[in-house]
């Protein structure tokens, strides 16, 4: 495993943890996890060649109203 692959794997694990613990204290940084932190981490992960998985969209579009 190269350094890049290792860092990418660590970032992927952090992203999973951050998504599951939004607005809670991070075991990695000791700070409250915010969407901005997730965005910054996601950007770096993608820069290193990481891929985001997509899950089925569960939005009920019939309930969305136009403003």
Q: Which residue, 34, 9, 30, is CA-closest to 21? A: 34
**Interval 53-61 mean pLDDT:** 59
**Interval 10-21 mean pLDDT:** 91
66, pLDDT greater than 60:
no
Residues 24 and 50: their CA atoms lie apart, in Å, by: 25
- pTM (two decimals): 0.69
- List beta partners, residue 25: 32
Domains of the chain, by residue range, sit at 3-50
What would you measure as the largest C-alpha separation in the chain, in angstroms?
50
DSSP annotation of 65 reads -
């Amino acid at each position: 495993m190269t350094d890049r692959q290792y860092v990418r794997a660590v970032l992927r694990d952090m992203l999973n943890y951050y998504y599951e613990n939004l607005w809670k204290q991070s075991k990695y940084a000791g700070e409250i996890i915010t969407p901005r932190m997730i965005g910054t981490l996601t950007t770096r992960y993608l820069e290193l060649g990481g891929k985001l998985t997509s899950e089925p969209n569960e939005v009920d579009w019939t309930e969305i109203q136009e403003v």
